[in-house]
């Protein structure tokens, strides 16, 4: 992993503070593509050069702020679309991971030198910083892989576990280290950085949108004090969570009483975290729905309530899964989006063949379909899906939302699972009230929902964030039309909202008249 290093006094001068300051000042900030190449080459060459641990740490910290700007810019280019990723996005990702890898290696070189012998107090302080930075660097690789729905490289998790174990052995796991600004920041310890990436791995990235992965990682920073590592299984927990520190795997939930090599296991106690999630008001923000947020910054101290509920389930040990819809293991025709679902649902023909608007997917399991897409960014967590069996006509369609996505290793196929909304929906239109001269009609879907012990409700699916709670619209259903009031607004997918709708009585609106009283 660490390249062979050469002694070169001339090149070494480029990494002295004065030369570094000049190099940073001359870095073309407005041209981030060129800055990225220069930063990559600079770090790559430094790893091949022999220098003292103190000098290496000094220059790595000096360039860190600009490095993080470049990393953030490259990440922002990868979270704008769904899957499959375009060739350009794949190229950006490849360069990004190469830079992240070299930057992590640079800190690892310092760790190796600082911990390879008996160390002084000052060296121990630098060792703690180097270990924490290396864990952060490896965590960056994990995040970038999750964003692209790709597996984590084989060596990453075992290295992360080894670094934390090393910090514990040096008794530096709880030592605070300086942040980029030189200030002591929360999360600036070896242990906290380790907890952050462990929490992200348990969040199951296959159920997160690309833009949410960095947000969830940043959010975990406020939760690290609520997570406790223990050597023994936590009492009163149905599904213990463990880290097998000698394996190249993330943390996972196990069955109670499962036999493990106790000396190589860390148990995770989530009891404090569970209590915190009982008070979600402190954790949630006022963003209008999980899928309605347009924030791509990745920074998040609070999250939408829907995303909090998702994380709560994962951190409670509930495995993410779609509905069991494909137990027959037969292929399905499907289409993405409300417009195409509306048109196919409205079809008057009884064609059993694949429409030009449909994809053919093979069943991958009882809960998953698998398909190769011809257009980048076609599918995302939160995509609205309508699907049918291949022997059914176009208008007999089920409706759901994609809740899990994975890229099939070694293929160009994408596997996805679906949270079912209804087995059968009907096409309708609606017009916003009060009606204007144009009386524009909008496409929508409607279905009936019957809960045990409750009356049947009518649920309307629309592609508009303009409709609010208690909005009144005119619904056009077959040959009838009538006003309805919209309640229980829910953001069910990317750009899609669902309402419980109730019919209202038509109101006769009195009009002004210029005539006098009629006494006859």
User: Domain with 350 in it: what CATH number?
Assistant: 2.40.10
Residue 85 shares a structural domain with residue 232:
yes
In a domain, 326, yes or no: no
Average pLDDT over residues 214-230: 95
Q: Position of tokens 């008057």?
A: 348
Q: Report the distance separating Cα 211 and Cα 145, nearest Å.
A: 13
Angle between helices 121-147 and 190-202 (to 10 degrees): 20
In a domain, 94, yes or no: yes
Q: Report the distance separating Cα 80 and Cα 85, nearest Å.
A: 10
In a domain, 4, yes or no: no
% the chain with pLDDT above 70: 89
Copy the structure tokens of residue 290: 């999980």
- The pLDDT value given to residue 519: 44
Residue 278 shares a structural domain with residue 157:
yes
- The pLDDT value given to residue 291: 87
Average pLDDT over residues 174-182: 71
Instruction: Tell how strand 457-462 and strand 442-449 pair up.
Output: antiparallel
Average pLDDT over residues 109-127: 73
Taking the whole predicted model, whether its pTM rises above 0.85 is answered as: yes
In a domain, 514, yes or no: no
Q: Report the distance separating Cα 136 and Cα 221, nearest Å.
A: 12
What is residue 411's DSSP assignment? S
Residue 159 shares a structural domain with residue 268:
yes
User: In three state form, how does the secondary structure of 166-215 look?
Assistant: HHHHCCCCCCCCECCCCCECCCCCHHHHHHHHHHHHHCCHHHCCHHHHHH
- The pLDDT value given to residue 204: 97
Residue 192 shares a structural domain with residue 103:
yes
- The pLDDT value given to residue 410: 76
Q: Are 128 and 98 in contact (CB under 8 A)?
A: no
Q: Report the distance separating Cα 232 and Cα 218, nearest Å.
A: 29
Q: What is the pLDDT of residues 225-257, one digit of tens each?
A: 999 999 888 887 888 999 999 999 999 999 877
Residue 304 shares a structural domain with residue 397:
no
Q: Is the pLDDT assigned to residue 57 strictly greater than 80? A: yes
In a domain, 460, yes or no: yes
Q: Are 394 and 102 in contact (CB under 8 A)?
A: no
240 CB-near residues (< 8 Å, 6+ apart): 233, 234, 253, 254, 256, 258, 267
Please give the backbone phi and psi of residue 112, each rounded to the nearest 5 degrees, phi first: -60, -40
Q: How many residues does the chain have?
A: 520
Residue 47 shares a structural domain with residue 108:
yes
CA 15 to chain CA mean position, Å: 37
Q: Report the distance separating Cα 245 and Cα 163, nearest Å.
A: 10
Structural domains of the chain, count? 3
In a domain, 3, yes or no: no
Q: Are 220 and 196 in contact (CB under 8 A)?
A: yes
What is residue 29's DSSP assignment? T
Tell me the average pLDDT of the chain. 89
Pick from 221, 182, 183: nearest CA to 200: 221
Q: Report the distance separating Cα 328 and Cα 220, nearest Å.
A: 40
Q: Report the distance separating Cα 45 and Cα 41, nearest Å.
A: 6
Residue 285 shares a structural domain with residue 433:
no
Greater model confidence, 460 or 282: 460
Tell me which of 315, 347, 374 is where a domain ends: 315
Q: Is the pLDDT assigned to residue 510 strictly greater than 70? A: no
Between 23-37, 340-354, 466-480, the lowest mean confidence (pLDDT) is in 340-354
Q: Are 131 and 103 in contact (CB under 8 A)?
A: no
443 CB-near residues (< 8 Å, 6+ apart): 338, 339, 342, 427, 429, 463
- Residues of 203-237 as b/e, b for ≥16 C-beta within 10 angstroms? bbbbbbbbbbbbbbbbbbbbbbebbebeeebeeeb
Q: What is the pLDDT of residues 304-335, one digit of tens each?
A: 999 999 999 999 999 999 999 999 999 999 99
Residue 448 shares a structural domain with residue 404:
no
Domain span at 450: 426-503
Work out the angle at residue 497's Cα, subtended by the Cα atoms of residues 482 and 413, and round it to the nearest 5 degrees: 130
Q: Are 369 and 403 in contact (CB under 8 A)?
A: no
- The pLDDT value given to residue 118: 61
Greater model confidence, 245 or 520: 245
Count the Cβ atoms, other than its own, within 10 Å of residue 433.
Answer: 15
Q: Report the distance separating Cα 359 and Cα 416, nearest Å.
A: 13
Residue 394 shares a structural domain with residue 437:
no
- The pLDDT value given to residue 237: 83
Residue 289 shares a structural domain with residue 400:
no
Greater model confidence, 200 or 435: 200
In a domain, 78, yes or no: yes
Tell me which of 398, 422, 446 is where a domain ends: 422
Q: Report the distance separating Cα 28 and Cα 24, nearest Å.
A: 9
Average pLDDT over residues 435-454: 83
- The pLDDT value given to residue 126: 84
- The pLDDT value given to residue 124: 57
Q: Is the dihedral of CA 174, 177, 179, 181 positive or negative?
A: positive
pLDDT band at 446 (very low <50, low <70, confident <90, very high): very high
Pick from 422, 421, 382, 386: nearest CA to 402: 382
- The pLDDT value given to residue 185: 42
- The pLDDT value given to residue 353: 55
- The pLDDT value given to residue 465: 86
Residue 219 shares a structural domain with residue 232:
yes
Residue 265 shares a structural domain with residue 305:
yes
In a domain, 381, yes or no: yes
């Amino acid at each position: 992993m660490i390249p062979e290093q050469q002694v070169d006094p001339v090149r070494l001068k480029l990494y002295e503070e004065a030369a570094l300051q000049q190099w940073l000042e001359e870095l073309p900030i407005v041209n981030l593509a060129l800055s990225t190449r220069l930063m990559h080459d600079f770090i790559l060459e430094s790893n091949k050069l022999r220098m003292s641990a103190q000098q290496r740490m000094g220059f790595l910290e000096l360039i860190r702020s600009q490095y993080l700007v470049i990393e953030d810019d490259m990440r922002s280019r990868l979270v704008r679309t769904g899957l499959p990723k375009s060739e350009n996005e794949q190229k950006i990702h490849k360069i990004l991971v190469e830079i992240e890898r070299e930057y992590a290696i640079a800190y690892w070189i310092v760790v190796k030198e600082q911990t390879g012998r008996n160390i002084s107090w000052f060296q121990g302080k630098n060792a703690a910083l180097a270990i924490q930075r290396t864990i952060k660097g490896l965590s960056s690789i994990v995040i970038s892989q999750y964003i692209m729905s790709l597996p984590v490289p084989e060596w990453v998790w075992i290295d992360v576990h080894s670094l934390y174990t090393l910090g514990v052995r040096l008794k530096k796991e709880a030592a605070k280290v300086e942040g980029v600004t030189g200030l002591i920041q929360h999360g600036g310890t070896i242990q906290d950085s380790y907890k952050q990436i462990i929490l992200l791995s348990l969040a199951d990235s296959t159920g997160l949108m690309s833009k949410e992965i960095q947000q969830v990682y940043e959010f975990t920073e406020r939760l690290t004090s609520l997570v406790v590592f223990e050597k023994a299984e936590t009492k009163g927990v149905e599904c213990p969570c463990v880290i097998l520190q000698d394996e190249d795997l993330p943390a996972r939930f196990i069955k109670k009483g499962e036999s493990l090599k106790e000396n190589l296991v860390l148990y995770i106690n989530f009891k404090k975290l569970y209590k915190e999630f009982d008070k979600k008001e402190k954790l949630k923000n006022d963003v209008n729905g999980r899928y309605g947020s347009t924030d791509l910054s990745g920074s998040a101290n609070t999250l939408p309530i829907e995303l909090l509920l998702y994380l709560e389930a994962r951190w409670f040990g509930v495995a993410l899964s779609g509905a069991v819809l494909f137990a027959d293991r037969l292929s399905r025709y499907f289409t993405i989006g409300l417009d195409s679902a509306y048109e196919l649902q409205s079809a008057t023909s009884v064609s059993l063949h694949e429409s030009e608007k449909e994809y053919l997917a093979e069943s991958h399991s009882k809960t998953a379909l698998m398909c190769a897409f011809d257009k980048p960014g076609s599918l995302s967590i939160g995509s609205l899906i309508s699907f049918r069996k291949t022997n059914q006509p176009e208008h007999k369609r089920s409706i759901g939302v994609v809740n899990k996505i994975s890229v099939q290793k070694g293929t160009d196929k994408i596997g996805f699972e679906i949270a079912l909304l209804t087995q059968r929906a009907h096409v309708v239109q609606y017009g916003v009230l009060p009606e204007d001269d144009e009386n524009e009609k909008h496409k929508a879907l409607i279905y009936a929902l019957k809960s045990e012990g409750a009356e049947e409700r009518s649920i309307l699916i629309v592609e508009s964030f303009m409709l609010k709670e208690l909005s009144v619209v005119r619904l056009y259903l077959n040959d009838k039309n009538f006003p309805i009031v919209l309640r229980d607004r829910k953001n069910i997918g990317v750009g899609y909202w669902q309402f419980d709708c109730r019919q209202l009585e038509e109101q006769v609106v009195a009009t002004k008249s210029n005539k006098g009283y009629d006494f006859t």
